[in-house]
C-alpha cells in the first residue's frame, strides 16, 4: 500500500462528498471501505457533520467498527448517538474491547446498559468500564492469550492455528507476546512469539518462558505505562490486579498515541492553554466555546497576577515622574526576565518529565541554572548598557538598566528552577506551569528590582 498523500486524500474527500450529495450512499461507503482504516478516519473527519451521519448509516458493521476504533472517542460517540441500539451493539461487538469501552464511556448511561444487554462480547468489555481512560486498565485489551506452563510449543502453535481458523472471517489479531499464568490466574512469565516459533516443538512453555516479566498495575497512569514501555523497549506490557492476576495487555500502538497525547498536552501547557480535554480533539472539531474555556482561566489568572505590576509602578510613581526615561526600559526588562524564565522552566520541566531531575535535586539544579544565568546576565547586561547609551540616556540610567538586567536574569532563573520542582514535590503536575505564568510572576518582582537599583545608582533619586 502506498501511503496516500494529503492531496490524494483531499481528492477522495471530494469524491465521497459528491457521491453522498447525489444520494449514492452505497458507492460512497464502498469508496471509503477501500481505504486503510487510518485514512478512512481522516476522510470522515473532513466531512460536514450531516454527511458524516449519512455515510456511517450506510457502512457495513465491520467497516463502521474499524472507523470507530480510529476516531477520537468523543467524535465516535457523537456519531454513535444516531445509530439504532441494535446495530450499534453489533458494531461494538466487532471493535477491540478497549476501544469499545472507551466509546461506551462517552455514551449516556441509560444507553450503555441497553447496549451491554444487547452485546455478545459484553463480558470482555464490562470489566474495562471501571478504569478511567488514562490508566493502564483504560488502555488495555482483555482479548489476550494466556498459556499454562505445562503446554508445549507445538500445542500452542496448534492452538493459535485453530484460533485463527475458527475466526477466519473475523480477522482476529494474534498477539506477539503470550503470557503464562498459574492455576490462580497469576502472571508467571511471558513467551515471545518469535522464541516460540524458533523453539524445538516439544519444549515446555514453563521452560521456554521468561519468568522475569515486567507488568504494570491496572490503575497505573498511562504516562507511567508509556515510560516503562519506552525504557524497556516493550511491544506489549501485561496488566495485573492487586493479586498479580493477569487482567489485560497494553500494546505499543496504544502507547504511541499516549506519547503523542501527553506531548501535546505538555506543549499546550507551556503555551498557557489548559488542554484537558482539547488535546484529544482534532483542531477543527474544537468548539469555540470549548477553546474559550480552555484559555480564559489562564488569561484571567495571568491578568490578575499581572495587575500587581501596576501596583509596583504606582509605588515608584515619584521616581518615574523624576526620571521619565526609566519607563522606556520597562518592557525590555520584564521581557528579558520573562524570556529567561520561560527557557529555564521549559528545561527544568522537561528534565522532570524524563525523571532526570527530582525535587530533592533542587539545589544542584539551581546551582547549574544560576551559573548559566551569570553567563547570560553578563552578556545581555552589557548589551543593555550599549542600547541605553545609544538612546542617549543619562549614564546613571544606563548603569541601572544594565545592572537590573543582570540581576533580573539571575532572579528569573532562580524562580523558574524552584517553582516546577516545588510544584512537583507537593504533588502539582509541573507541566501545568507555563512560560506565560513564569513571565507574569517575574514581571512585578523584576520591576521592583529595577527601581531599587535605580534608587541606589541614580543620584537624583
Site residues for a second copy, 44-73, by CB under 8 A, read none
DSSP string, 204-227: BHHHHSBS----EETTSBHHHHHH
Cα distances (angstroms) measured from residue 226 to each of 15, 105, 260: 39, 22, 10
SS3 assignment, position 2 = coil
Question: Is residue 2 a contact point for a second copy (CB under 8 A)?
Answer: yes
| DSSP category for residue 130 | G
C-alpha angle 308-309-312 in degrees, rounded to nearest 5: 90
Residue whose CB is less far from a second copy, 9 or 27: 9
Question: Is residue 354 a contact point for a second copy (CB under 8 A)?
Answer: yes
Q: Residues 430, 431, 437, 439: is their CA dihedral positive or negative? A: positive
Out of 328, 363, 382, 456, the residue judged to bind a second copy by CB under 8 A: 328
Is 441 buried (19+), middle (13-18) or exposed (0-12) by CB count in 10 A?
A: buried
Out of 146, 356, 363, 460, the residue judged to bind a second copy by CB under 8 A: 356
Stretch that binds a second copy, among 23-31, 76-84, 119-127, 311-319 (CB under 8 A): 311-319
Q: Write out the E strands in 79-203.
A: 146-147, 177-181, 187-192
| DSSP category for residue 324 | G
Site for a second copy in 12-51 (CB under 8 A): 36, 38
CB of 424 to a second copy, least distance (A): 13
Out of 16, 273, 423, 449, the residue judged to bind a second copy by CB under 8 A: 273
Out of 152, 339, 424, 445, the residue judged to bind a second copy by CB under 8 A: 339
Residue whose CB is less far from a second copy, 345 or 423: 345
Q: How big is the site for a second copy, counted in residues (CB under 8 A)?
A: 120
CB of 359 to a second copy, least distance (A): 12
CA distance 366 to 370: 6
Residue whose CB is less far from a second copy, 107 or 140: 140
CB of 445 to a second copy, least distance (A): 12
Q: Mask 406-435, x = binds a second copy (CB under 8 A)?
A: ----------------------------xx
Stretch that binds a second copy, among 21-29, 51-59, 123-131, 154-162 (CB under 8 A): 154-162
> Who's near 458: CB < 8 A, 6+ residues apart?
323, 394, 396, 397, 400
- Per residue in 306-323, is it b (16+ CB within 10 Å) or e — as a string? bebbeebbeebeebbeeb
Site for a second copy in 193-222 (CB under 8 A): 193-200, 212-214, 216
Site for a second copy in 95-124 (CB under 8 A): none
CB of 282 to a second copy, least distance (A): 5
Residue whose CB is less far from a second copy, 347 or 404: 347
Q: How do beta strands 187-192 and 177-181 pair?
A: antiparallel
Out of 27, 61, 129, 160, the residue judged to bind a second copy by CB under 8 A: 160
Residue whose CB is less far from a second copy, 119 or 151: 151
Out of 355, 363, 382, 460, the residue judged to bind a second copy by CB under 8 A: 355
Stretch that binds a second copy, among 72-80, 115-123, 127-135, 330-338 (CB under 8 A): 330-338
Out of 296, 382, 455, 460, the residue judged to bind a second copy by CB under 8 A: 296
CB of 232 to a second copy, least distance (A): 5
Site for a second copy in 367-386 (CB under 8 A): 368, 371-372, 375-376, 379-380, 383-384
CB of 67 to a second copy, least distance (A): 14
Out of 268, 362, 400, 408, the residue judged to bind a second copy by CB under 8 A: 268
C-alpha angle 165-96-13 in degrees, rounded to nearest 5: 105
Asked if 106 and 73 touch (Cβ cutoff 8 Å), the reply is yes
Residue whose CB is less far from a second copy, 107 or 353: 353
CB of 308 to a second copy, least distance (A): 9
CA distance 35 to 32: 6
Asked if 447 and 330 touch (Cβ cutoff 8 Å), the reply is yes
Out of 292, 363, 382, 395, the residue judged to bind a second copy by CB under 8 A: 292
Asked if 153 and 206 touch (Cβ cutoff 8 Å), the reply is no
Stretch that binds a second copy, among 58-66, 132-140, 180-188, 298-306 (CB under 8 A): 298-306
With helix as H, strand as E and coil as C, how does 54-85 read? HHHHCCCHHHHHHHHHHCCHHHHHHHHCCCCH
Q: Write out the E strands in 3-70.
A: none
Q: Cell numbers 449519512 label which residue?
A: 54
Nearest alpha carbon to residue 248 among 256, 239, 259, 260: 239
Grid coordinates of 103: 466509546
Question: Is residue 436 a contact point for a second copy (CB under 8 A)?
Answer: yes
SS3 assignment, position 190 = strand
Grid coordinates of 327: 519607563
Amino acid at each position: 500500500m502506498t501511503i496516500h498523500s494529503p492531496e490524494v486524500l483531499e481528492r477522495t474527500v471530494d469524491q465521497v462528498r459528491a457521491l453522498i450529495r447525489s444520494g449514492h450512499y452505497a458507492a460512497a461507503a464502498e469508496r471509503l471501505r477501500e481505504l486503510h482504516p487510518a485514512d478512512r478516519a481522516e476522510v470522515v473527519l473532513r466531512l460536514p457533520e450531516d454527511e458524516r451521519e449519512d455515510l456511517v448509516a450506510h457502512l457495513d458493521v465491520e467497516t463502521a467498527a474499524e472507523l470507530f476504533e480510529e476516531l477520537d472517542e468523543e467524535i465516535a460517540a457523537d456519531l454513535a448517538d444516531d445509530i439504532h441500539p441494535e446495530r450499534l451493539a453489533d458494531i461494538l461487538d466487532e471493535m477491540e474491547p478497549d476501544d469499545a469501552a472507551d466509546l461506551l464511556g462517552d455514551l449516556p448511561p441509560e444507553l450503555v446498559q441497553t447496549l451491554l444487554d444487547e452485546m455478545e462480547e459484553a463480558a470482555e468489555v464490562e470489566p474495562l468500564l471501571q478504569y478511567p481512560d488514562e490508566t493502564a486498565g483504560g488502555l488495555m485489551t482483555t482479548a489476550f492469550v494466556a498459556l499454562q506452563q505445562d503446554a508445549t510449543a507445538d500445542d500452542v502453535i496448534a492452538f493459535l492455528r485453530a484460533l485463527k481458523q475458527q475466526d477466519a472471517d473475523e480477522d482476529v489479531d494474534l498477539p506477539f507476546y503470550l503470557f503464562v499464568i498459574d492455576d490462580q490466574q497469576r502472571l508467571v512469565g511471558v513467551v515471545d512469539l518469535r522464541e516460540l516459533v524458533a523453539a524445538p516443538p516439544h519444549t515446555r512453555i514453563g521452560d521456554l518462558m521468561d519468568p522475569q516479566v515486567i507488568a504494570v498495575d491496572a490503575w497505573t497512569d498511562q504516562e507511567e505505562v508509556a515510560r516503562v514501555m519506552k525504557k524497556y523497549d516493550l511491544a506489549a506490557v501485561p496488566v495485573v490486579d492487586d493479586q498479580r492476576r493477569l487482567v489485560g495487555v497494553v500494546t505499543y500502538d496504544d502507547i504511541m498515541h499516549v506519547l503523542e497525547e501527553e506531548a501535546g498536552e505538555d506543549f499546550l501547557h507551556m503555551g498557557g492553554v489548559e488542554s484537558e480535554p482539547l488535546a484529544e480533539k482534532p483542531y477543527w472539531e474544537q468548539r469555540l466555546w470549548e477553546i474559550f474555556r480552555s484559555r480564559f482561566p489562564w488569561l484571567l489568572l495571568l491578568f490578575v497576577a499581572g495587575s500587581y505590576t501596576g501596583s509596583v509602578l504606582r509605588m515608584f510613581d515619584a521616581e518615574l515622574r523624576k526620571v521619565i526615561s526609566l519607563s522606556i526600559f520597562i518592557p525590555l526588562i520584564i521581557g528579558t526576565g520573562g524570556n529567561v524564565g520561560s527557557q529555564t522552566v521549559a528545561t527544568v520541566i522537561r528534565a522532570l518529565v524524563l525523571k532526570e531531575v527530582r525535587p530533592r535535586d533542587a539545589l544542584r539544579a539551581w546551582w547549574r541554572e544560576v551559573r548559566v544565568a551569570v553567563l547570560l546576565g553578563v552578556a545581555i547586561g552589557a548589551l543593555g548598557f550599549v542600547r541605553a547609551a545609544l538612546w542617549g540616556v543619562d549614564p546613571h540610567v544606563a548603569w541601572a538598566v544594565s545592572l537590573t538586567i543582570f540581576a533580573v536574569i539571575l532572579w528569573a532563573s532562580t524562580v523558574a528552577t524552584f517553582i516546577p520542582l516545588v510544584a512537583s514535590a507537593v504533588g502539582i503536575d509541573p507541566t501545568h506551569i507555563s512560560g506565560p505564568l513564569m513571565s507574569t510572576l517575574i514581571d512585578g518582582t523584576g520591576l521592583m528590582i529595577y527601581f531599587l537599583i535605580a534608587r541606589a545608582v541614580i543620584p537624583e533619586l
